[in-house]
Amino acid sequence: MQKRKITKSAVTNIFRFVSCHKPDSVTVEGYNEFIACHYFEFSPLVVDFEAQPQKFAFPIEGTNRPLIYTPDFLVRLHNQQEVYFEIKPHDITLTDKFSQRWALLQKTFADRDLRLELVTDRQLKRGEMAENLKLAHRYMNCAPNTAEQENILKLISKSPISVSSLSQQLQLQESVTISYLLNLVTKKQLSFPLYAPLDSNTVFHRPPPVIECNMDKVFEQIFPVPDHIIHDELKEVFRKEVKQHLDDADSYEHLDALPEREREQAIFRWKVLSKVSGLCNGVLSNQRLASIYNELETEFAEKTPSISSIKRWAKIYDASGRSIKALSPNISERGNKTHRLSIEMEELIQQALDRIKDTKSGAISSAYSYLQHLVFQFNQRSGLKLKAPSIQTFWVRFNKISPYEMAVKCNGKFKAAKEFKNIAEMVKTNRLLERVEIDHTQLDFFVVEKESFIPLGRPWVTTLCDVHSRSVLGFYIGFTPPSFVSVARALKHALLPKDYVLSRYPDIKNSWLCFGKPELIVSDNGKEFDDRDFKLALSKLLINSGKNPTATPYLKPVVERYFGKLNSELLRAHPGHTLATLKRSKDYNPAKNAVVDMDRLLHIVHIWICDIHQAGPNSRRDRIPNLTWVKALDKFAPVQHNYDAEELNLIFCRTLTGKLRQNGVEFKRLQYSCDASAELRGRVGDHQVTYKKVPWGSGLAFCHALSKSTLGSQKT
């Protein structure tokens, strides 16, 4: 069957894993699958792997509908064996529904002589495996070994050496040594205990020879991990400690959630039982209680309960597992809980409540009138004489509708779920450029032409922000709406050092320190991030990418917060700001009041980034971007290549196809020809060619012929 194509999702993240061994990125759905790609990429047992390899349709007994199933991965091992893998969270694998489905899948695959294996998130995240594999991918490249790396291999070939010893012998910083070592790990020329934290004492050695893979529990052999290394070890230890404290302590759980009156009575009853237990040695007979009753009256005076009450409380306390909460009088549950209205009337009231779609004035009265109409119609049909409840009763029922149910009525289920969804804490990062957020926004600001002062409109800004340091890596401001062009120019700006800042803008006090290659770029579901050339550029740069679920801007909090500060704190004070609060005012026209041209706007933004945003604390006042960046450089240095601007222009070119003729290649009525294209045409004739064009200019980068027998390439 046809392969499953992953584009976007409303509930899960989409990731694209890139490799120097694959021409195209590997698209997966979910973070666990993204981590699994790192296992398969760097394991010496794996020759190749493929995500979403094939759809299977299995017949099911007793039904005409087949079971449609697509494994997450197909992995080809060095012994020519193939294994299908299914990646699932551990909690889901414990459900009966999954167990039944998994048993059916395993039986069906076994009948076809296919191997299907289950991998859970606990297996993927044992110890430091996931973090170390992601860190290794950070330093992966296709370049040959450097002279320093050859020296490292010579030293380690004699005996395993730690990071600190290598740094001393090679006279290199430890962060630089680690980058060389991890690059050799990605080339499978070195190895180290991936399940352990990577620090200066980590010992690197030559990888052991590849052994024959046993087809039972294949994933456990991809990167063997000792049995004592478990999933999320620190969290497991913390949970055990908390559970032990709860077991040792008396049951005060949820006591503070009770109303004050019930809480005080529960504590009083517990004190009485504690006193009685100490005096009676656990024997609560009538004779024993009567003998100590005078002592109880001395301590509790007129509040002393009767003997029967004490025995009843003790029975409840023991039955609840000695929980103080069980001793509360539970006043809220008292009273008559039966409905006074008939079942038929309850159904009619619910129909009237379902008619309410907003909380505007008159909505309740209109729904109550509809209820009276429903009651009249029901009486006509049934011959009964039901009487509609009063409007006060109807209001009481309306007030019992939960905020979520009301939001569903007013805005629909999707918006209600979004409004009341739990927003967890930010994704935690351990190093610079581990996670970079990218997004666009249209500035609330009008820009004018430099000489004529004619309003040009509101420009768009595309920005990349580092999550770990909250730093701005790069940006692009222009009138081009969100597109591959704006993304490419912003990413190019982020990759290159900002040496131009102090020379171009002498009034700026601080250097712009931040640049480098991100490990993972996180975006929304804009079409520009699905662009073919954008995917191709990230594959060449070896940058992974991820897309958040649809309509979830809160999953990119750093860049969204930056845009908010840019519009409110920086641009609001300048003429030309849209001033949303005055939009309806006839006295204020932002386009006519605008005086800032594009050059001046770029100057203002550079000053604000370098001297205010990067040099000052964030809103929580827990970090300063520049200071965090400098401190984090000492541990795991980001990949900061000396990219050539022209080389990046070539990477970010548009890839197009056309016919090479006598006049060259034609693109949008523009013709590109030169001596090189004429020479290429002389060798292959009029031929279909692939050519690259710089997206922000009119120049043609190069073209090559598409031919089965002849392949030529020329710069033009």
Lowest mean pLDDT among 113-117, 123-127, 274-278: 274-278
> Measured between alpha carbons, how far is 349 from 367 in angstroms, rounded to an integer?
9
Which residues contact residue 277 at a Cβ distance below 8 angstroms, ignoring those fewer than 6 apart? none
Which amino acid appears at position 623 of this protein?
A: R
CB 18: neighbour CB atoms within 10 A? 23
Domain range spanning residue 107? 14-124
The pLDDT of residue 334 is: 65
Q: In the structure encoding, which two tokens stand for residue 196, read together?
A: 């352990």
The CA-based angle 331-332-334, given to 5 degrees, is 70
pLDDT at 699: 62
Q: Extract the tokens encoding 385.
A: 């004489």
* Residue 6: count of CB within 10 angstroms of its CB: 18
DSSP readout, 295-344? HHHHHHGGGPPPHHHHHHHHHHHHHTTSBGGGGS--GGG-S--S-SS-HH
Confidence of residue 672 (pLDDT cuts 50, 70, 90): confident
Same domain, 273 and 372: no
CA 136 to each of CA 161, 188, 519, 541, 636: distance values in angstroms, whole numbers, following the listed order: 18, 11, 10, 15, 11
Domain end point (choices 100, 124, 148): 124
For position 702, what pLDDT does the model report? Answer: 58
Residue 647 counted as domain residue:
no
Burial class (CB in 10 A: 0-12, 13-18, 19+), 293: middle
How far apart are the C-alpha atoms of 167 and 387, rounded to whole Å? Answer: 89
Segment 104-130 mean pLDDT: 93
Q: pLDDT-based confidence at 580, cuts 50/70/90?
A: low
pLDDT computed for residue 324 by the predictor: 82
* CA 584 to mean position of chain CA atoms: 39
Output the average pLDDT for the chain: 86
Statement: residue 287 has pLDDT above 90: no
Given 333, 353, 387, the domain boundary residue is 333
Task: Give the pLDDT band (50/70/90) at residue 593.
Answer: confident
- Residue 713: pLDDT band (50, 70, 90) is very low
Considering the domain architecture, whether residues 30 and 108 belong to the same structural domain is answered as yes
Distance of alpha carbon 18 from alpha carbon 224, whole angstroms: 24
Strands (E) located in 524-570: 544-547
Structure tokens at 450: 């430099």
- Measured over the CA atoms of residue 660, residue 665, residue 671 and residue 672, the dihedral's sign is negative
Mean pLDDT of 281-286: 79
Q: Residue for token digits 């973090």?
A: 131
Average pLDDT, stretch 438-466? 94
Which helix (H) or strand (E) segment is 657 a member of?
A: strand 654-660
pLDDT-derived band at 415, boundaries 50, 70, 90: confident
What digits encode the pLDDT tens for the residues 687-709?
888 888 888 776 655 565 554 33
Output the six-digit token pair for 453.
């002062």
Q: What confidence tens digit (pLDDT) does each residue in 193-216 have? A: 999 999 999 999 999 888 888 888
Cα gap 156→20, rounded to integer Å: 25
C-alpha R_g of the chain: 35
**Residue 425 located in a structural domain:** no
Structure tokens at 192: 């180290």
User: Does a structural domain hold residue 678?
Assistant: yes
- Are 444 and 573 found together in one domain? yes
Instruction: Say which CATH number the domain at 92 has.
Output: 3.40.1350.10
pLDDT in tens, 298-354: 888 888 899 899 889 988 888 888 888 888 887 666 666 666 788 889 899 999 998
Residues in the chain: 716
- Cβ–Cβ under 8 Å, residues 704 and 712: yes
Question: Residue 336: what pLDDT?
Answer: 64
Stronger pLDDT, 160 or 331, i.e. the higher one: 160
Same domain, 573 and 470: yes
**Under a CB-based contact definition with an 8 Å cutoff, are residues 290 and 279 in contact?**
no
Is 648 or 691 the better-scoring residue by pLDDT?
Answer: 648
Residue 409 has pLDDT above 70, yes or no: yes
Q: Classify residue 607: in a domain, yes or no.
A: yes
Query: What is the domain-level CATH number for residue 541?
Result: 3.30.420.10
Residue 279: pLDDT band with limits 50, 70, 90: confident
Find which of 161-165, 426-430, 584-588, 674-678 is predicted with most confidence, using mean pLDDT.
Answer: 161-165
The answer on 223 and 111 residing in a single domain is: no
Separation in Å, CA 686 to CA 161, 278, 427, 699, 711: 60, 104, 54, 21, 14
The answer on 695 and 561 residing in a single domain is no
Same domain, 226 and 372: no
pLDDT at 716: 46
Name the residue with higher pLDDT: 393 or 357. Answer: 393
Question: Does 287 reside within a domain?
Answer: yes
What is the b/e burial string over 499-520, where b = at least 16 CB atoms within 10 angstroms of the residue's CB? eebeeeeeebeeebbbbbbbbb
Q: Tell me how far apart the alpha carbons of residues 261 and 332 are, in angstroms, rounded to a whole number.
A: 11
Q: In which band, very low, low, confident or very high, does the pLDDT at 236 lie, cut at 50, 70 and 90?
A: low
Residues 498-549: tens digit of each pLDDT: 999 999 999 999 999 999 999 999 999 999 999 999 999 999 999 999 999 9
DSSP secondary structure letter of residue 445: B
Quick one: 498 and 520 in the same domain?
A: yes
- The per-residue pLDDT for range 387-406, each reduced to its tens digit, is 999 999 999 889 988 888 88
Residue 478: beta bridge partners? 460
- Within a domain: residue 239? no
Give residues with Cβ within 8 angstroms of 697, minimum separation 6. none
Check pLDDT > 50 for residue 251.
no
Last residue of a domain, one of 69, 95, 124: 124
- Which tokens sit at 208? 């052991």
Residue bearing tokens 């790069």 = 474
Residue 113 lies in a domain: yes
CB 439 within 8 A of CB 462: yes
How confident is the model at residue 358, as a pLDDT? Answer: 79
User: Would residue 44 be called left, alpha or beta, if left means φ above 0 and alpha means ψ between -120 and 50 degrees?
Assistant: alpha
pLDDT at 248: 47
Using an 8 Å Cβ cutoff, are 299 and 275 in contact?
Answer: yes
Domain check: are 481 and 605 in the same one? yes
Provide DSSP, 141-189.
-SSPPPHHHHHHHHHHHHS-EEHHHHHHHHT--HHHHHHHHHHHHHTTS
d(CA 388, CA 394): 9
Of 282, 271, 279, the residue nearest 305 (C-alpha): 271
Q: Pick the closest to residue 416 from 437, 428, 402, 426 (CA basis).
A: 402
Q: How many CB atoms lie within 10 A of CB 524?
A: 21
Tokens of 238: 């913390």
> Residue 588, Cα to own-chain centre: how many angstroms?
42
Q: Is residue 238 part of a domain?
A: no
Residue 106: pLDDT over 90: yes
SS3 per-residue string spanning 247-279:
HHCCECCCHHHCCHHHHHHHHHHHHHHHHHHHH
Contacts 24+ apart (CB under 8 A), 27-31: 27/51, 27/52, 28/52, 28/72, 30/87
Question: Do both 597 and 459 map to the same domain?
Answer: yes
Considering its fold, how many domains does the chain have in total?
A: 6
pLDDT at 184: 95
Looking at residues 469-492, what average pLDDT do you find?
95
Q: Same domain for 440 and 586?
A: yes
- What count of other Cβ atoms lies within 10 Å of the Cβ of residue 417? 12
Mean pLDDT of 52-64: 85
Instruction: Read off the tokens for 24.
Output: 């195209």
Instruction: Looking at the structure, tell me whether residues 538 and 576 fall in a common domain.
Output: yes
